[in-house]
Amino acid sequence: MSWGPGIRAWQVCASLADEGHEVSLLALADPLHYGPGELAAEDSRDSVRIHRLDPGSFFDPRRIEDCCRSWDIEAVVGATLLGSFALAQSRPDVPFWADQFGQAMAEAQALSSRQGDNRAVAQGWKHVHPVLSIADRISVVSRRQRLAVVGELGAVGRLTGETCGYEFVDVMPCAVYPDQSQSVVARRTSRAEKDDFVVLWAGSYNVWSDVETLVEGLEVAMRDSPRLRFISIGGGIEGYHVSTYSRLRELVAASEFSKRFQLEGWVEQRRLADFLARADLGIVAEHSGYEGELGSKNRVVEWMGCGLPVLSSPVGDLGEYLSAGSRGLVFEPGDAAELARQVLWAIENRDSLSRIAEDARKSVYEEFSLERTTSGLRSWAAEPTRAPDWTEVSWRQSPMRYWDWRQRLAVHSQRMTRIRESSTLRSIWRRLTSER
């Protein structure tokens, strides 16, 4: 299956390639997720040149600087938190768009709660702070996250007189890809209706996943409907969070309906369409928290594009979209009884469920198309620009440092045309006014 960061990176690259830009993608080939020799070091796809790096190279500022210099680039875009962090470390001398695919600090809070310590909070801020400090534009997945990032920008000293009226943050929701969805739609509409009703989970079991409510609600529904089965594809995230999926396996093993729970684990991407075509309902169960309120979910957008009905919580922008237009079924976080009622309703009302799914499919192609979700990025890439305070970012350590001698020098430097127009002089100026 595809990882969320990879899907997001391709959303960025495909949109820019569609506009005719020359796009080179530096991709993180993490050995925890890809086996040796599974991916070529260099590749191309739909006019995008792909260069895969191991983690050591990906997070080495010198490697990033060398690539940028050799390609004579005009702008850089960091796709998701780690991509943006890697670029921020290299301190690019060209306009820098940083994508924040979900609210990192809210996810760090949830992970800290699961782990029983706050190491994730420190790690999250380590990745977020340098990005917020120097990015010229930032993209997020929801309207709610946009406001959260504005607050973070204030915390690192970017909301100043120079940036008043400047729009730092662009909302880039998850996108649907018609080419990937149409084959699944055709197979779903042509299949014969079976006695079994299949509820599908497809994707990772991240820190927000509420497997206790998921299993409890499905068990209640299974007592009333012998036709109900659950299939899970996906699992824990190696090197990040695996305990939630381990907990799911424990709950399933102890269930009186364990034989009706099918846990496939991670599957190859080519098999995903088969599972989507076999399912009757896609499900997401999540804990209540800031991460869900501020974020989004690729899988839900993909399911709607495939014509698969969705059962999820009415949380965040995407949850609001589902419930406001009756584009899916919803239940409140932690409400296993309501989850069960919605599943049983779906089993007994397949015609109505199909109409909901078809309305959602038509709507999502319009609201979450690649062109619409990336319109802000496309406009910026046509003429990349720096933030109004870009001459100051080299020295900024804290908003408490305003109007010390570095601030005064930075202000004067904005009036020095030769410094502003020369990358060499800018580099020297940064070293003189920085404590790095």
- In this predicted structure, what is the pLDDT of residue 211? 98
Q: For residue 69, what are its two tokens?
A: 């210099």
- In this predicted structure, what is the pLDDT of residue 188? 61
Residue 244 or 403, more confident: 244
Q: For residue 275, what are its two tokens?
A: 């599972």
- In this predicted structure, what is the pLDDT of residue 68? 83
Asked whether residue 250 falls in the same domain as residue 104, the answer is no
Asked whether residue 269 falls in the same domain as residue 352, the answer is yes
- In this predicted structure, what is the pLDDT of residue 324? 85
Domain of 413, in residue numbers: 394-436
- Which DSSP string corresponds to 153-198? HHHTT--STTTTT---EEE------HHHHHHHHHHHHHSPP-S-EE
Q: For residue 118, what are its two tokens?
A: 């706050």
Give the mean model confidence (pLDDT) for residues 97-102: 96
Give the mean model confidence (pLDDT) for residues 92-107: 95
- Nearest in space to 135 (alpha carbons), one of 414, 396, 422, 413: 396
- In this predicted structure, what is the pLDDT of residue 436? 45
Give the mean model confidence (pLDDT) for residues 65-92: 91
- In this predicted structure, what is the pLDDT of residue 257? 97
Number of domains in the chain: 3
- In this predicted structure, what is the pLDDT of residue 203? 94
Residue 248 or 52, more confident: 248
Give the mean model confidence (pLDDT) for residues 138-163: 95
* Range with lowest mean pLDDT among 71-75, 178-182, 250-254, 342-346: 178-182
Asked whether residue 329 falls in the same domain as residue 378, the answer is no
Residue 180 or 302, more confident: 302
- In this predicted structure, what is the pLDDT of residue 178? 77
Asked whether residue 381 falls in the same domain as residue 416, the answer is no
Residue 263 or 188, more confident: 263
Asked whether residue 124 falls in the same domain as residue 194, the answer is no
* Range with lowest mean pLDDT among 68-72, 104-108, 222-226: 68-72
Asked whether residue 44 falls in the same domain as residue 129, the answer is yes
Instruction: Indicate whether 318 pLDDT > 70.
Output: yes
Mean residue pLDDT across the chain? 88
Asked whether residue 343 falls in the same domain as residue 281, the answer is yes
Asked whether residue 380 falls in the same domain as residue 283, the answer is no
Question: Residue 18 sits in a domain of what CATH number?
Answer: 3.40.50.2000
Asked whether residue 150 falls in the same domain as residue 208, the answer is no
Asked whether residue 329 falls in the same domain as residue 184, the answer is yes
State the pLDDT confidence band at 375, using cuts at 50, 70 and 90: very high
Give the mean model confidence (pLDDT) for residues 11-17: 96
Residue 4 or 321, more confident: 321
- Which DSSP string corresponds to 299-368? HHHHHHHTT--EEE---HHHHHHHHHTT-SEE--TT-HHHHHHHHHHHHH-HHHHHHHHHHHHHHHHHHT
Asked whether residue 266 falls in the same domain as residue 311, the answer is yes
Asked whether residue 107 falls in the same domain as residue 149, the answer is yes
Give the mean model confidence (pLDDT) for residues 215-241: 95
